[in-house]
Structure 1
């Protein structure tokens, strides 16, 4: 007698996955840079030298100079000449008082006095150093202001975008069990 056979067919379950990866998009705008420069400044102030020439003593030696100075020299010179004349007259009087000595006669005392009375010198003394030259110089005034650079930077944050990926899970094949009986010939 034949044994009946039972077939069992099994189909496994198959799960399908469809995926797309996520994407990052990163961009960063350029920073904005502002540069402001103040230029340097140099100022130089200079004064021209001062030349002073004083030739008043040269003019005094040449023509007497100013009237006031000339009158002062005449006045002081006349005083000196007057004192010298008095001294000469006193000397002559002293010699005349000793008329009995040889050489003290009236002719010798007064006859030898032939020098004219001079007028005082109205001019100043002559010299190679009568002109005074004076030069006054001043150092220049120098002002310097250094240059300044001002840098302003405005930074921009990065822009990050993320696009999510896809994940699709599905049943590609379902599990199944199939029982197949064998054919039975049953004769009755």
Structure 2
């Protein structure tokens, strides 16, 4: 038999250990800016004006002002004067009728004891002597609509990545073993 050389070879083995990486995604809420402007309601009005004229009522109670009383008396004196003249004419006619029996002079002038009556110096009495006038001005209403302004700012997502671990190592180193033949056995 012939001697043989033995060669034994072991390959290199590389070991790898790896862990998964981690993603972290976070998105902050959107930023809102809200601005409002109030609406306005404006109402303008004037107070009602009430005018009460009770001069006719006072004229009926007291005669009114001196000028009004004098005017009524003055306008009534003419009528009283004309009535007085008519009364005197009638009395004169009765006195002139001496052909009738009786004492006409005594009848006419004996019964004439009535004093001269002044004309009515007061105004006429009526339920409608007080005038009330109410003036109401219309309301002036103005409305201004409010405003709403909304601004949104979207925040971008925040993405972070944590790498996983990677461990590379030699699990087995390569080796070559050469075994010579046994020489002793042949000798």
TM-score interval, normalised by the smaller of the two chains:
0.5 to 0.7
Using the size of structure 2 for normalisation, the TM-score is 0.61
Correspondence for 1:160: 159
Q: Is the 8 A contact 1:13 1:176 kept in 2?
A: yes
Partner of 1:100: 99
Q: Which residue of 1 aligns with 2:10?
A: 11
Q: Which residue of 2 aligns with 1:75?
A: 74
The CA deviation at 1:41 is 5.9
- Contact 2:57–2:130 (8 Å) recurs in 1: no
Tell me if structure 2 keeps the 8 A contact 1:95–1:104: no
**Cα pair 2:48 2:137 within 8 Å, conserved:** no
Per-residue deviation, 1:172: 3.9
Offset, 1:86: 3.9
Task: Please tell me the root mean square deviation across aligned C-alpha atoms, in Å.
Answer: 4.6
Deviates more, 1:71-80 or 1:144-153: 144-153
1:143–1:30 distance in 2 versus 1, CA, 3 Å: same
Matches for 1:33-112 after TM superposition, within 5 Å: 33-38=32-37, 52-92=51-91, 95=94, 99-102=98-101, 105-112=104-111
Structure 2 stretches of 5 or more lacking a match?
none
Deviation at 1:106, TM superposition (A): 3.8
Counterpart-to-counterpart distance in 1, 2:12 and 2:135:
112
1:14/1:99 CA distance change after superposition, 3 Å: farther
Question: Given the superposition, is the C-alpha separation of residues 94 and 104 from structure 1 closer, same or farther in structure 2, using an over 3 Å criterion?
Answer: farther
